Amino acid sequence: LTEITEFDTIAAISTPLGEGAISIVRLSGEQAIEIANKVTRKVDLTQVASHTINYGHVFDPETDQNIDEVMISVMRAPKTFTREDVVEINTHGGIMATNLVLQTLLSNGARLAEPGEFTKRAFLNGRIDLTQAESVMDIIRAKTDKAMQQALNQLDGSLAHLIHNLRQEILEVLAQVEVNIDYPEYDTDEMTTKLLLEKAQEVSQQIAGLLKTANEGQILNHGLQTAIIGKPNVGKSSLLNVLAHQQRAIVTDVAGTTRDVIEQMANINGIPLQLVDTAGIHETDNKVERLGVDRSLQAINDADLVLMLLDGSRPLEAEDQRLLSLTQNKKRIIIINKMDLPQALEIEQLPTNIQQENVVRISAVAQQGIDQIEERIEQLFFTGIENTANNAVVTNARQVGLLKQAQQALEDVKSGIKNQMPIDLVQIDMTNCWDKLGEITGESAPDELITQLFSQFCVGK
Ligand code: GDP
Ligand code: ZN
């Protein structure tokens, strides 16, 4: 991978399309400055100092027509995002002007960038590793400040550094083992296996520590899938609205109105929640309703967290019992709603295995007790990430999968030694661990993986 150093010049609109005060068209590559200069008047971009922003006009050299009055940043390699020459043209926004600037650049020697290609170049040019590239995507998608902070940490390379150090340690042991095999007169198998075993245990512990961060890391990154469950009219839509701090679901007095599953993002003390409001799950013959019920069951299944609503102003009904038992194996908070009304629900009727601390009383309408829900969510999911070296946190399924494979390779090392397998076989397992860790950062990642990973990005990043 590292031998690829020459690339053509790519261009794309790097800001979201639509009305905005400014849009940015970005160029990267050996000819970035030259191409931008071809379509610019009033300033000679080839002469300006690096990392400056310059006033000028973009025009079409073919028709001699002015396109837009712009500000152009010129950044010469290697201190740029891609480590190539980068030019960023700040246009006046509006789809027309921005598109015309891009078109003109494309007619004058640039190629339209593929999704994620700028970030891919940063990776291929060795400026960032794969975990950092992933964090670029996470930053773009971050829904809360906590999620953003985590992504920034990863962009900083905290996970990459930790992985890199682990690989270095493994490499040193492998080298030592190699020496021991080559010069058996200096050493015994016993010492070699001891060395391998110790390192396997040590690295395994570190990986276990990292994997412990995965749960919280992924929740911050992707949000906590949360299903709001309850019979019709308990106040699901009302609670969803309160949690999301905005009107979104339709609230009505008619039981069974929320037939569809409605999704909404909420930010609970920095934890992104993907809220799903479900139709009441009762047996039904109505087709539309049936669809809603199936999806509700699906929503329970998929949920990381269930918010199980009961109506405090009414006695517990068979439907409530059914939902309580349907959700009993999920992480759940039992919410007794409508505490502003006279209470009719007998707490003693609730299943005895329910933990009291997971029962809260609220009023969705009066917005009382909502903070208790927020506290419970934090306590259920955020025991506090155990500190790993440099606060490295695992943030996605790809990283988790590879860490588990690396962990398995270490288990193979241990059992190989226990079963007195030949050292060179044990060595293969250790090398395998080293490889899997390398895939996380991209040091030993196959080309297809890299192509696939970057294709998930949006154009212009
Ligand atoms: P859903 O069918 O479970 O989604 O319930 P809704 O959120 O649509 O609420 C049904 C009815 O109960 C509406 O008239 C709400 O205004 C009312 N409601 C919801 N929460 C409360 C509450 O805490 N107190 C009172 N008094 N009424 C509520
Ligand atoms: Zn509803």
Residue 158: name the closest of 434, 408, 399, 404 by CA.
399
Please check the confidence at residue 182 and state whether its pLDDT lies above 80. no
Residue 379 domain flag:
no
Number of domains forming the structure of the chain: 3
Q: What is the CATH number of the domain that holds 350?
A: 3.40.50.300
Indicate if 348 and 423 belong to the same structural domain. Answer: no
For Cα atoms 278, 283, 285, give the angle at the middle one, nearest 5 degrees: 105
Indicate if 324 and 337 belong to the same structural domain. Answer: yes
- Please give the distance, rounded to the nearest whole angstrom, from the Cα atom of residue 385 to the centre of ligand 2: 35
Final residue before a domain boundary, out of 65, 100, 129: 129
Token output for 299: 């929503």
Residue 461 domain flag:
no
What's at 344, amino acid-wise?
A: A
Indicate if 98 and 153 belong to the same structural domain. Answer: no
**Residues across the chain:** 461
Indicate if 333 and 243 belong to the same structural domain. Answer: yes
Q: Residue 365 is inside which H or E element, if any?
A: none
Which pLDDT score is estimated for 256?
Answer: 47
217 lines ligand 1 (CB under 6 A): no
Residue 135 domain flag:
no
258 lines ligand 1 (CB under 6 A): yes
DSSP state of 77: T
Which pLDDT score is estimated for 1?
Answer: 40
**Contacts of range 191-198, beta carbons closer than 8 Å, 24 or more positions apart:** 192/423, 193/417, 193/423, 193/426, 196/413, 196/417, 196/423, 196/426, 196/427, 196/430, 197/413, 197/414, 197/417
What residue numbers bound the domain in which 55 lies?
10-129
> Would you say 252 is a known binding-site residue?
yes
Residue 1 domain flag:
no
Please check the confidence at residue 249 and state whether its pLDDT lies above 50. no
What does the alpha-carbon distance between residue 355 and residue 373 come to, in Å, rounded to a whole number? 14
Residue 452 domain flag:
no
Please check the confidence at residue 66 and state whether its pLDDT lies above 80. yes
What does the alpha-carbon distance between residue 454 and residue 461 come to, in Å, rounded to a whole number? 10
Which pLDDT score is estimated for 353?
Answer: 80
Q: List the single range of 75-89, 260-274, 275-289 with lowest mean pLDDT.
A: 275-289
Which pLDDT score is estimated for 388?
Answer: 61
Residue 383 domain flag:
no
Which pLDDT score is estimated for 404?
Answer: 95
Indicate if 322 and 397 belong to the same structural domain. Answer: no
ipTM: 0.98
Which pLDDT score is estimated for 235?
Answer: 93
> Would you say 28 is a known binding-site residue?
no
- Tell me if 365 sits within 8 A of 340, measured CB to CB: yes
236 lines ligand 1 (CB under 6 A): yes
Q: List the single range of 138-152, 272-286, 386-400, 413-427 with lowest mean pLDDT.
A: 272-286
- Tell me if 103 sits within 8 A of 65, measured CB to CB: no
338 lines ligand 1 (CB under 6 A): yes
Indicate if 216 and 227 belong to the same structural domain. Answer: no
Q: In this predicted model, which residue has the larger pLDDT, 369 or 189?
A: 369
248 lines ligand 1 (CB under 6 A): no
Residue 406: name the closest of 441, 388, 431 by CA.
431
Indicate if 85 and 158 belong to the same structural domain. Answer: no
Q: What is the CATH number of the domain that holds 123?
A: 3.30.1360.120
Indicate if 123 and 70 belong to the same structural domain. Answer: yes
Indicate if 82 and 67 belong to the same structural domain. Answer: yes
Q: What is the CATH number of the domain that holds 400?
A: 1.20.120.430
Mean pLDDT of 455-459: 72
Indicate if 202 and 245 belong to the same structural domain. Answer: no
Q: List the single range of 27-36, 230-239, 433-442, 451-460 with lowest mean pLDDT.
A: 451-460
- Residue of 228, 229, 231, 233 best suited for mutating to test ligand 1, as the one with most atoms within 8 Å of CB: 233
Indicate if 332 and 432 belong to the same structural domain. Answer: no
Indicate if 93 and 178 belong to the same structural domain. Answer: no
The CB density around residue 342, as the number of other CB atoms within 10 Å, is: 8
Please check the confidence at residue 3 and state whether its pLDDT lies above 50. no
230 lines ligand 1 (CB under 6 A): yes
Which pLDDT score is estimated for 252?
Answer: 47
Ligand 1, residue 250: give the atom nearest the CA: 8
**Ligand 1 atom 19, closest CA:** 235
Say how far residue 333 (Cα) sits from the centre of its chain. Answer: 25
| Region at 426 (left for phi over 0; alpha for psi -120 to 50; beta for the rest) | alpha
Which pLDDT score is estimated for 5?
Answer: 44
Q: Pairing state of beta strands 65-75 and 86-91?
A: antiparallel
Please check the confidence at residue 304 and state whether its pLDDT lies above 70. yes
State the number of CA atoms in the 13 A half-sphere of 29 facing the CB: 21
Which pLDDT score is estimated for 391?
Answer: 72
